[in-house]
Chain A
Amino acid sequence: MPIAAKFEIEYLQYLDADGKLVREDLPEFARDTKTMVELYKLMASTRVFDTKSIALQRTGKLGTYASCLGHEATHVGIGSAMKPEDVFAPSYREYGAQLYRGVRPRDVYMYWGGDERGNDYQNEPAKHDFAWSVPIGTQCLHAAGSALAFKIRNEKRVAVCTIGDGGSSKSDFYGAINVAGARDLPLVAAIVNNGWAISVPRRIQSGAKTLAQKGIAAGLACIQVDGNDIIAVRKAMSDAIERARRGEGGSVVECVTYRLGDHTTADDARRYRGKEEVEDAWKKDPLKRLRNWLEAQKAWDQKQEDAWQAQCSEWMDNEVNAYLETHAQPVTAMFDYTFAELPADLARQRDEAIALDKGAH
């Protein structure tokens, strides 16, 4: 019978779970020890940041928080593959990518600590990135719209969105990759497949063998990578991003990782998944394997590790203090960003709220 279409999904991995190279054709950046140490340091600091965030939540100093434990290679790999002029549309736990792009830990604490100012990123290039997107998958279309803006304006920029394995079930994801394929938009959708959408496992999100292949239906380039191997993530993302920048179309990159923590601090993953699965996943820890590889090359040692951990702790303490020292916004802040100019009716409500607030003190 004639074949109407055929496809294959390549799987990319350089470092295995023990940090041993499984292929020799290392990309150029990975041959540069300094670059790899920098990536390791950011992955390690992301974990210190995450640990600190959970501690803050557990001690009542932070609201519900979505941990990124175990996603460090995927997130830092995505962030480091982007250029400053590109635009990032994250979901809500891609801190590794965002820290790389200038979001400060205190911004994250502010947001999860109940303060909109956390979304007001101060540093470039994060300043032109989207804020966290809580309604699942919606950010994919915002990235597609950004990509269309770049194409209309003839700018050599790329829009990158991240989406979970669960999020890849949403029509927004399908819509985004579909319009990107139909119009060759510079969009790269990174599926962060961490195995779980709260309590629902990957196997009942989709009957597709890979989530990457969803991009085939949209006419995009697709690849699946070991999401705990930062070399693979960064290589695949860089290739996809530069391909898009050259005007050759969008991509779907599926990063297979594992959510080592709960969905958020309000979740208890012990309710729906077994201990053995999590223990197995820890054996594939992205930090440990990169550290092993760097140590085998004499590019990193325990002394450097201790020094870096101490430096990260100090950094986070500073960030936590900066966060804890901020006061709640004045009650007027609720009103003042609703419209560019405050409508008369809203101004009256604002006055009422001010008067009530004064009475309360």
Chain B
Amino acid sequence: MAAITLIEGVTQALAYEMKRDPSVVVLGEDVGVNGGVFRATQGLSEKFGEWRVFDTPLDETTIAGVTVGLAAQGMKPVCEAQFEGFIYPMMEHICCHAARMRNRTRGRITCPAVFRAPWGGGIHAPEHHSEANEHLFTNVPGLRVVLPSSPARAYGLLLAAIRDPDPVIFFEPKRIYRQYKEEVPDDGEALPLDVCFVLRDGTDITLVTWGAQVKESLEAADALAKDGISAEVIDLATLTPLDFGTIAESIAKTGRCVIVHEAPKTAGFGAEIAARIAEECLYDLLAPVVRVSGWDVHTPLYRLENKQLPSTARVVAAAKQTLAAG
């Protein structure tokens, strides 16, 4: 068993499921011979041929609409938006059709599709290649929004997403695509959707995060441990439907919460979590909930992008501020 990166987890899951299930097809721009601009579909075209690894014309609307049509007629399409910043033309098909197909036909037609996209900043990419826009999808009923943050979770959650009978947005944090390797057996074992992962147990404060920010949050927990502060780190993994129970349980224990995300603050998904904590956990709280997020600005071009992305130091400072408050 070889150790693999997060993006190799994606490839491994696609290859496994395409072999297991002939209805699984991959489509997008450059996903064929080129294997995707990040190489997520590397080698699939040779294995499964140009009709199951389908290079589309360069039109995101086409990719999304064709995906809906494939899914509605018995296929399990996994389409790729080359970057999350190019997903906007796909939104009509995702929101108006994929997400509501089951509901509006009372279950007659369903849309078991996965919409993949490399997501987030931190790789010094050009404009529109570094967005964090997951919150634009978390308010859409009928849609799952999933962000893996490790090679094993990329593999296990993508398998689950493909097998899920409903549409899934699968955002892959490109900054940690190749951050580290871990051994991920290619055994076809899916991980559960709709479940948060507690990555580190702690008793003093809960850090809630997802995507690439898992890295900073774990680093912050390490730094806090050196000061004798025990931080619990929760990776949401599936943003919607949200497993709030895991968060509530943690807050019952710690009484403190810092939410860490890359997207702009206002109406980001952290707002939903803070609201749920206020509704359901207020009397467990020892201090106000704090959000560490991107500012409410456009993702800057790359000379300034590290000023937008929450740093480990910001997370540590927020945690200490929370601890000082009560």
Contact = CB atoms under 8 A, between A and B. Distances in A.
Interface residues of A, number: 45
B92 A135 contact: yes
A161 B208 CA distance: 46
Given A149-B74, A338-B141, A344-B241, A141 B107 contact: no
B66 A119 contact: no
A338 B165 CA distance: 11
Interface stretch (A76-84, A170-178, A195-203): A170-178
B103 A116 contact: yes
Given A145-B72, A152-B75, A179 B66 contact: yes
Contacts of A119: 104-106, 108
Nearest to A142: B69
Nearest to B101: A131
Contacts of B57: 175, 178-179, 182
B161 to A, nearest CB: 13
A337 interface: yes
Nearest to A157: B73
B85 interface: no
Interface in A141-198: 141-153, 159, 171-172, 175-176, 178-179, 182
A339 B72 contact: no
A141 B65 contact: yes
A131 B109 contact: yes
Contact of B72 (A121, A140, A146, A345): A146
B241 A346 contact: yes
A141 B25 contact: no
B96 interface: yes
B115 interface: no
A357 to B, nearest CB: 18
A18 interface: no
Given A146-B70, A151-B51, A120 B105 contact: yes
Interface string B68-109: 111111110100000000000100110011000011111111
B137 interface: no
A243 interface: no
A130 interface: yes
Contact of B69 (A120, A144, A178, A346): A144
Contacts of A149: 69-70, 73-75
Contact of A338 (B59, B62, B66, B142): B142
A127 interface: yes
Contacts of A121: 108
Interface string A339-354: 1100111100000000
A246 interface: no
A251 interface: no
Contact of B59 (A128, A138, A171): A171
B61 interface: yes
B65 A140 contact: yes
Contacts of B228: none
A317 B194 CA distance: 48
Contacts of B67: 145
B165 to A, nearest CB: 4
A128 B141 CA distance: 24
A134 to B, nearest CB: 8
Nearest to B79: A145
Given A141-B62, A176-B62, A179-B57, A345 B69 contact: no
B120 to A, nearest CB: 25
Contacts of A182: 57
Contacts of A127: 108
Interface string B109-145: 1100000000000000000000000000000011000
A116 B104 contact: yes
Nearest to B276: A345
B166 interface: yes
Contact of B107 (A120, A144, A145, A179): A120
Nearest to B52: A152
Nearest to A141: B65
B54 interface: yes
B87 to A, nearest CB: 15
A50 to B, nearest CB: 23
Contacts of A152: 25, 51-52, 75
A146 B97 CA distance: 14
A145 B244 contact: no
Nearest to A143: B69
A274 B51 CA distance: 51
B97 A138 contact: yes
Contact of A144 (B25, B52, B66, B71): B66
Contact of B62 (A130, A133, A175, A339): A175
Contact of A178 (B62, B97, B102, B107): B62
Nearest to B111: A142
Given A141-B64, A149-B74, A333-B106, 8 more contacts: A135-B92, A141-B66, A142-B69, A146-B72, A175-B59, A178-B59, A179-B62, A343-B241
Interface of A: 87, 89, 116-117, 119-121, 127-128, 130-131, 133, 135, 138, 140-153, 159, 171-172, 175-176, 178-179, 182, 333, 337-340, 343-346
Top 5 nearest A-B pairs (CB, nearest first) are A145-B69, A141-B65, A343-B241, A175-B62, A145-B66
26 contacts: A119-B105, A121-B108, A127-B108, A130-B72, A135-B92, A135-B97, A138-B93, A141-B66, A144-B62, A144-B66, A145-B67, A145-B71, A146-B70, A146-B72, A147-B69, A149-B70, A149-B73, A152-B75, A171-B89, A172-B61, A182-B57, A333-B106, A338-B142, A339-B166, A340-B110, A344-B241
Interface of B: 25, 51-52, 54, 56-57, 59, 61-62, 64-75, 77, 89, 92-93, 96-97, 102-110, 141-142, 164-166, 194, 241-245
